[in-house]
Chain A
């Protein structure tokens, strides 16, 4: 369960300008597929980073499975470790998030950093590779994979850390339609079969087919909420908020 209360964020190098987030209240249930839509500059990426504790809110609180991060106290290393293990992140550029020399080393990166013992690292890596169908590619250089495969690799890396919620920050925007379908199909399967929570952040409504609900951000606030049917019914409203629709 992820809960945000009164979350605000202002970038330190822009103290006079508009805040990136101006008061977000949001609850995300376990196993839900939530879409967070919005135009460029609406605050989506900032919100993504706050969910993964890569940014600490300047006001308000974020709670992940009972662990609370608030603006007042600097979170401890242990707290960050727990939050980032529970919430995994896949970034927009498939290439720049690759860390390992081989597919299996990349998946093993998270578990290695957790200081787990060798047998556990091997077990988790094997399981994640199997779940994402990357077993045959395990010794391949990740730089030689297709965009869709790279994003699946990133998901595997998050799974190996034991994440229960995956945040995808515009992760489909650099893929071609086939790559996007491939990744979405995998995500929906993980959501259905493993109960993995999906938080899809995008400027394109087509990225959230199959979601349970969506919210739209505009200038740092929640401007609209809806269920999947609204994606088709409220196209004009979405377009006016800068979201691409079919």
Chain B
């Protein structure tokens, strides 16, 4: 199950999506989420889903990576669906929409992280939100935090596995035994995971200090972000999609 946590796992590639400026992708994600929640009919629901499928195909990321992050939300969703169907009058319709939308959100987020490196996401956030600097918002720090968090996720999930092994050697059982017993094993695990995360963060902060993090108001970039023709095309598509969904919603479709 730990293997399935997809967030932060960049999948190298040269597809159209990989080549897009990170800002374009960062704009697309919230717009897409708004659109799928605007959808109320079968027509718009399918349209939203087809758009996602098209993008997944465009990304050239193997399906098994794209689908990995879905297992846990699906388990939770299925429980919610069963409850909805049993308890609510309109349960089936609500369940279908809920499941569809959550899956779409997860898949769209995966699309972003699988095709964009953490550093690129940070650079995109920083450049895109740089207007906030006028209001004294620490944009550079926030963008760095996002990038470091993304970078740590695969490291920590890998480490959690090692930590589980270490405690298993001491007789902790994460897989068998009563739920109570298994839950008890999580206590020591969470302490070690947090301790490890803090230690890594400490060491990384020192390394960043030694390489002068935060010393310039205008840090440079090896590959400065620049919009290209593909980004223009992408923005046009995004705007069209949004416009269509809004129109269909207001038109009762």
Contact = CB atoms under 8 A, between A and B. Distances in A.
B178 interface: no
A44 B31 CA distance: 53
Interface stretch (B49-57, B87-95, B116-124): B116-124
A97 B207 contact: yes
Contacts of B209: 54, 84
B222 interface: yes
B188 interface: no
A109 B213 CA distance: 9
A114 B222 contact: no
Given A91-B207, A95-B155, A96-B207, A122 B222 contact: yes
A52 B222 contact: no
Nearest to A119: B220
A25 B206 CA distance: 25
B204 A96 contact: yes
Say what secondary structure dominates the interface of chain B.
Answer: loop
A105 B220 contact: no
B182 interface: no
B195 to A, nearest CB: 14
Contact of A54 (B155, B210, B222): B210
Interface residues of A, number: 39
Interface in A44-87: 49, 52, 54, 77, 80-81, 84-85
B211 interface: yes
B216 A114 contact: yes
A15 B29 CA distance: 51
Given A96-B203, A101-B10, A114-B216, A89 B210 contact: yes
Interface of A: 49, 52, 54, 77, 80-81, 84-85, 88-89, 91, 93, 95-97, 99-102, 104-105, 108-118, 121-122, 125, 141, 143, 157, 161
11 contacts: A85-B212, A88-B210, A91-B207, A96-B200, A101-B10, A101-B118, A110-B212, A112-B221, A113-B211, A113-B216, A161-B212
Given A99-B204, A113-B215, A117-B220, 13 more contacts: A52-B210, A84-B210, A84-B211, A96-B203, A96-B207, A101-B10, A101-B119, A105-B222, A110-B211, A114-B212, A114-B215, A115-B215, A116-B220
Q: Pick the 9 closest A-B CB pairs, nearest first.
A: A115-B216, A97-B207, A108-B222, A96-B203, A101-B119, A101-B117, A113-B212, A110-B211, A112-B220
